[in-house]
Amino acid sequence: MKYDAVVIGAGFSGLYMLQRLREAGFSARVYEAGDGVGGVWYWNRYPGARCDSESIYYNYTFSEELLQEWTWSSRYPEQPEILRYLNFVADKFDLRRDIQFETRVTAAHYDEENQQWLIYLEDGSQVSATYFISGVGCLSAANIPKFKGLDQFEGKWYHTGHWPQHEKVDFTGKRVGVIGNGSSGVQSIPVIAQEAEHLTVFQRTPQYTIPARNHPYDPAFIKQTKENYQQIVEEMRNSWAGFPIKPSSRSAIEDSQEVRQQVYEEAWEKGGFFLTYTYNDLTMHEESNETVSEFIRSKIRETVNKPDVAEKLLPSYYFGTKRPILDTHYYETYNRENVTLIDVNKAPIVEITPKGLRTTDAEYELDILVFATGYDGMTGPLLKIDIRGKDGLTLKEKWAEGAHVQTYLGIANAGFPNFFMITGPESPSVLANMPLAIEQHVDWIGDCLEHLRDRGVPTIEATLEAETAWSKHCREVADATLYPKADSWYTGANISGKPRSFLIYLGGFGVYRHICDDVAAKGYEGFSLASSPKTVS
């Protein structure tokens, strides 16, 4: 079977890409490993999973009708509601008929002679397509640390990103262990603590988290938002992170201690990510960062009753340089009698035993173990697929070749014609409002394919020069900030053996959008538009 385009994944990316391709008259097929749409919102069903972008902005904006028809219940809705939204979208645009579920793409090889991609599926079948588009997401390759003895564990264990789809995990009366306290751990720990007989949290690095202060939406607010959506969307598109929030023009150290305290207190009371917007240099300068980092540490000391537990929860990295986290009663959870916090930085995990988990200090008996240990971010999901470009070069080899992974605009790769990544490495997406960032990529790719078709151009490929320059620019922008200093999935430091590299464009979503538009306006500057595999214009 031959399609114009094959897309992997039926999450936010794959669904809109399919819709955009169809609207432009391309034939397309989406392959999805799960048995339903939703992507991360299909897989992440752990207790407490919810959105941490305000829902009124965390949706598609391409259809005014859709914006008007869908109404979010609250500021940060839970996973089932977001999954319902994506199902609603799939139904509204009749997307399912072009999606093949329970089908994993194992390989995609570029057939240079015929200028097409050969796509191999897990069931052994194969299809071909002119364009190969990845919508695999940035956080879909689970990181399950290789602890000795996991296969001997007599209890049940789960990773937050692969939570059982059709059965409820019952923690009642159980001794539960959670390893990890990133966004997934921080969301699930308070909920599991309410149900479990006892919860032991194994923490390696303390994290800063901010109260979400979720609340149902007032119907008057929803009405006003819907009436003004086009203006809001315009603001989102031109902003740093894809939200209609005006950035501060002040440095944190321009204000006196008293004024700063008041600014931080107000943002803390509002909840959500307002704290990150209080000053313009929090992730730029150590001195400014220390003011907000210390403010959150003071809140932890205030909230947690036992000083020794509070002490263990105090983070020391620069706030904001790991992905900021929103919580609902996270620090308060450590005041419960049935919750114990273990510092595995001091006493590392040695092994999983048949009865539980052993650190260098003690053994903890557990019935259920939850890995909230995150993901091999950005490159991980792509490298799980055997992707081969020209001359049989694999993506793995290409990205291992130089000192750094490099891409052009986070969308394309030299040596891989007609292959597009939605929210790939070196795009700003993971620091932006994800659905909006996805829409921007999908629209850009859709426009590009129409451009090629209208001009009879069979292939497009990023040039090595453009890719190298983009990658260098990304690193220069990042190096002017504090971000690369943190050990996180942003830098790849969370995966043992993964080369350290900061793979996010930090120039801002609005700026990036203009760069991409400019590239297109200049006839796809930095790309080779070829009339045959060997000809480069």
Q: Which is nearer to ligand N01, 182 or 190 (CB)?
A: 182
Site residues (CB under 6 A) for ligand N01, limited to 178-237:
179-185, 187, 204-205
Question: Mind giving me the DSSP string for 399-421?
Answer: HHHSSS---BTTTB-TT-TTEEE
Provide the H-helix boundaries in 271-358: 286-303, 307-312, 330-333
Q: What's the distance, CA 508 to chain centroid?
A: 16
Q: Which of 55, 321, 373, 459 binds ligand N01 (CB under 6 A)?
A: 373
Rounded Cα–Cα distance for residues 148 and 143 (Å): 15
Counting contacts by CB under 6 A, is residue 145 touching ligand N01? yes
Residue number with CB closer to ligand N01 (73 or 230): 73
Give CA–CA dist 425/377, Å, rounded. 9
| Smallest distance from ligand N01 to CB 418, Å | 29
Closest approach of Cβ 212 to ligand N01, in Å? 9
CB 15 within 8 Å of CB 7: no
197: which 2 tokens?
């007989």
Q: How far is the CB of 36 from ligand N01 (least distance, A)?
A: 19
Binding to ligand N01 in span 265-294, by CB under 6 A: none
> According to the binding rule CB under 6 A, does residue 372 interact with ligand N01?
yes
Pick from 474, 462, 469: nearest CA to 389: 462
- Binding part of the chain for ligand N01, among 3-11, 367-375, 441-449, 527-535 by CB under 6 A, reads 367-375
CB 460 within 8 A of CB 447: no
Q: How far is the CB of 48 from ligand N01 (least distance, A)?
A: 9
Give the contact letters, 146-165, x = binds to ligand N01 (CB under 6 A), - = no.
--------------x-----
* Residue number with CB closer to ligand N01 (212 or 449): 212
Beta-strand pair 116-121/126-134:
antiparallel
Residue 39 token pair: 């992507």
3-state secondary structure of 84: helix
Binding ligand N01 by CB under 6 A: which of 242, 271, 374, 410? 374
Please tell me what DSSP assigns to residue 366. -
CA quadruple 403, 409, 410, 416: dihedral sign:
negative
263 or 369: whose CB is closer to ligand N01?
A: 369
Position of minimal CB gap to ligand N01:
182
Q: Is 51 in the site for ligand N01 (CB under 6 A)?
A: yes
489 binds ligand N01 (CB under 6 A): yes
Q: How far is the CB of 517 from ligand N01 (least distance, A)?
A: 26
Residue owning tokens 């313009």: 280
Instruction: By CB under 6 A, name the binding residues for ligand N01.
Output: 51-52, 139, 145, 160, 179-185, 187, 204-205, 323, 344, 349, 372-375, 489, 494
